[in-house]
Amino acid sequence: MPLAPLFAPSAKGRSSKHAIGAAAIAAILLSGCVNSPSINVLGAYFPDWLFCIVAGVVLTVVIHVILKRLQADHLMGPSAVVIPTLVVFLSLAVWLILFQH
């Protein structure tokens, strides 16, 4: 038994209405993506989140070095949990402080 076509001839008018409705909804949902948050660095645009992640990693390394020098690194619990959590926390803090749109 052959498969029925995707759009039957009797439903052609209805399917075009669905397509127009889907296109309108997609246009409304994608309209928030007009201005991408980016920084111009020597003519190339980089997303803000990239700088926030780099800042979070650098700040985490600085905090880790300071705690090592103070011999208080034992306060950092299990490193596999604390280090990534600190990176995420500091990245989000940098995002909130520097890039308030």
Tell me the pLDDT tens digit for each residue of 16-39. Answer: 778 888 888 877 777 666 566 677
Q: Are 52 and 99 in contact (CB under 8 A)?
A: yes
Q: 65 pLDDT exceeds 80?
A: yes
What percentage of the chain has pLDDT greater than the value 90?
A: 30
The first and second tokens of residue 86, run together, are 């600190």
In this structure, is residue 61 part of a structural domain?
yes
Whether the model clears a pTM of 0.75, i.e. scores above it, the answer is: no
Long-range contacts, 12-19 (Cβ 8 Å, 24+): none
Q: Which structural domain, as residue segments, surrounds residue 84? A: 37-98
In this structure, is residue 76 part of a structural domain?
yes
Angle in degrees, 0-180, between the axes of helices 79-98 and 48-69, rounded to the nearest 10: 130
**What digits encode the pLDDT tens for the residues 79-94?**
889 999 999 999 999 9
Q: According to the model, what pLDDT value does residue 91 have?
A: 94
In this structure, is residue 73 part of a structural domain?
yes
Q: How many domains does the chain have?
A: 1
Distance CA 54, CA 36 (A): 19
Q: Are 37 and 98 in contact (CB under 8 A)?
A: no
In this structure, is residue 43 part of a structural domain?
yes
